């Protein structure tokens, strides 16, 4: 029996193709989108302004495709890590982070990751597959706290700009009037610097951008992040500097601080030179120890000196609060490797 195609994650143009394929009038695509993204139905039977006979026809080949998480873990700080199925034997994690004034979801874009950054558990897992737009959006729509969300960050498992076609479908649905109708300013896409995807993102999206940097020095960044060989940080920063930022996109640089590696005053000064003339901010992130990696987190005092050095030079710099470390939900700690093996 042929597997049904999933409507959740389809753009309006794709839904128009579905309507044509099933003999529905053109306007039905907007109706389906309304049921999917505004009313958030979980079955075609609930789409009551579509004729019953047409719904039956739709159900022969399609399903909504909203699938609830299969497991969750709650941190002492209120952070919740959810596990979602992503096809037979595959899983992804996403992290719900509530605070006093906002509720953020950290979304995954791939099962595993190709980039193999030294400090990241997802990279140690290796790469299995890109998530479909359905599997990405399902993390948002099927989240129990979905209606409370104020912000989304594509900083979960995988490199979003290595799965750029599916990512852009999701961003369209999130920000379009036919979809969620969110402001792009509520969404941040993180990247370690896949140049082709970054160029497209800068040209086509108004969402915020976060670039994983972690060292201002080429050889040192290369030792932490193999992607530096193909896409040096300097070239990525030059690309960002050349772009017209009249749309007021926020650009930030993520900087995990490692003890006696990248936390010296010389590193802070080199970072200031690298980011000179670029309107941006820097987020310092405490390293969270992962198995098999000898790196250590910098101490708080050195991180404060680093932060103050950048702020005094006119670059907004903050130390990001760590959330969910006790359930392996903090930055760099997401992995479903054991679940894939057991699945």
pTM more than 0.85: yes
Domain 5-63 - what CATH class?
mainly alpha
Give pLDDT, residue 254: 97
Q: How far apart are CA 146 and CA 255, in angstroms?
A: 29
Domain boundaries, the chain: 5-63, 71-341
Torsion sign over Cα 13, 14, 20, 26: negative
Tens of pLDDT, residue by residue over 141-167, are 999 999 999 999 999 999 999 999 999
46 an active-site residue?
A: no
C-alpha dihedral, 32 to 36 to 38 to 40, nearest 10°? 140
- pLDDT on residue 67: 97
Residue among 96, 126, 98 at smallest CA distance from 111: 126
pLDDT in tens, 163-208: 999 999 999 999 999 999 999 999 999 999 888 899 999 999 999 9
pLDDT of residue 331: 76
Residue numbers in the known binding site for S-adenosyl-L-methionine are: 158-159, 190, 212-214, 288
For 255, phi then psi, to 5°, come to: -135, 95
pLDDT, position 2: 76
pLDDT value of residue 324: 79
Tell me, what's the pLDDT at 339?
Answer: 67
Active site residue 172: no
Separation of alpha carbons 12 and 33, rounded Å: 7
Cα(294)–Cα(9) distance, integer angstroms: 40
Q: What SS3 class is residue 291?
A: coil
Identify the CA nearest to 108 among candidates 212, 5, 189, 194.
Answer: 189
Residue whose entry in the numeric block shows the structure tokens 């003339």: 277
The pLDDT value recorded for residue 248 is: 72
Residues of the chain with pLDDT under 70: 1, 244-247, 329-330, 333, 337-343
E strand spans, 176-334: 187-191, 208-212, 251-257, 281-286, 316-319
- DSSP string across 48-92: TTS-HHHHHHHHHHEE------SEEEE-TTS-EEEEEE-STT-EE
Q: Which residues are annotated as a binding site?
A: 113, 117, 120, 158-159, 190, 212-214, 288
Q: Where are the beta strands (DSSP E) in the chain?
A: 5-6, 62-63, 71-74, 80-85, 91-98, 103-106, 110-112, 127-130, 151-154, 187-191, 208-212, 251-257, 281-286, 316-319
Token readout for 264 is 């010296």
> Catalytic one among 93, 166, 228, 254?
93
Q: What is 71-341's CATH superfamily?
A: Aldolase class I (3.20.20.70)
Q: Which of 106, 207, 280, 331 is catalytic?
A: 331
pLDDT of 249 reads 86
- The residue behind tokens 């309006």 is 12
Q: Which residues are annotated as a binding site for [4Fe-4S] cluster?
A: 113, 117, 120
* b/e burial code for range 148-169 (CB count within 10 A of at least 16 → b): ebebbbbbbbbbbbbbbebbbb
Q: What is the DSSP letter of 297?
A: B
Closest CA to 249 of 183, 306, 194, 296: 183
| Cβ atoms 156, 109 nearer than 8 A | yes
In this structure, the strands spanning 251-257 and 187-191 are unpaired
Give tens-digit pLDDT for 57-75: 999 999 999 999 999 999 9
């Amino acid at each position: 029996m042929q597997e049904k195609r999933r409507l959740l994650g389809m753009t309006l143009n794709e839904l128009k193709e579905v309507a044509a394929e099933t003999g529905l009038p053109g306007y039905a695509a907007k109706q389906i989108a309304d049921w999917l993204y505004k009313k958030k139905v979980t079955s075609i039977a609930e789409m009551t302004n579509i004729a019953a006979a047409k719904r039956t026809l739709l159900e022969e080949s399609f399903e909504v495709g909203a699938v609830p998480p299969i497991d969750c873990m709650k941190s002492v700080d209120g952070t919740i890590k959810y596990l979602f199925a992503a096809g037979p034997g595959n899983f992804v994690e996403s992290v719900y982070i509530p605070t006093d004034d906002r509720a953020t979801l950290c979304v995954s874009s791939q099962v595993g990751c190709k980039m193999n950054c030294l400090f990241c558990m997802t990279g140690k897992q290796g790469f299995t597959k890109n998530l479909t737009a359905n599997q990405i959006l399902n993390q948002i729509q099927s989240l129990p706290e979905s209606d409370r969300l104020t912000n989304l960050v594509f900083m979960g498992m995988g490199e979003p700009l290595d799965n750029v076609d599916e990512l852009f479908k999701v961003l369209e649905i999130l920000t379009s009037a036919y979809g969620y109708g969110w402001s792009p300013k509520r969404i941040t896409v993180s990247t370690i610097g896949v140049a082709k995807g970054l160029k497209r993102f800068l040209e086509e999206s108004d969402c915020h951008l976060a670039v994983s940097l972690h060292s201002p020095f080429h050889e040192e960044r290369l030792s932490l992040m193999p992607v530096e060989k193909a896409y040096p940080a300097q070239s990525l920063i030059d690309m960002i500097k050349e772009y017209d930022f009249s749309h007021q996109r926020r650009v930030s640089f993520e900087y995990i601080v490692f003890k006696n590696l990248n936390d010296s005053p010389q590193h802070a000064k080199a970072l200031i030179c690298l980011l000179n003339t670029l309107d941006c901010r820097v987020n310092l992130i405490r390293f969270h120890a992962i198995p098999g990696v000898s790196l250590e987190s910098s101490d708080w005092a050195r991180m404060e000196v680093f932060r103050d050095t950048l702020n005094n030079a006119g670059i907004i710099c903050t130390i990001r609060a760590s959330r969910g470390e006790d359930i392996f939900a903090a930055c760099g700690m997401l992995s479903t490797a054991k679940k894939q093996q057991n699945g």
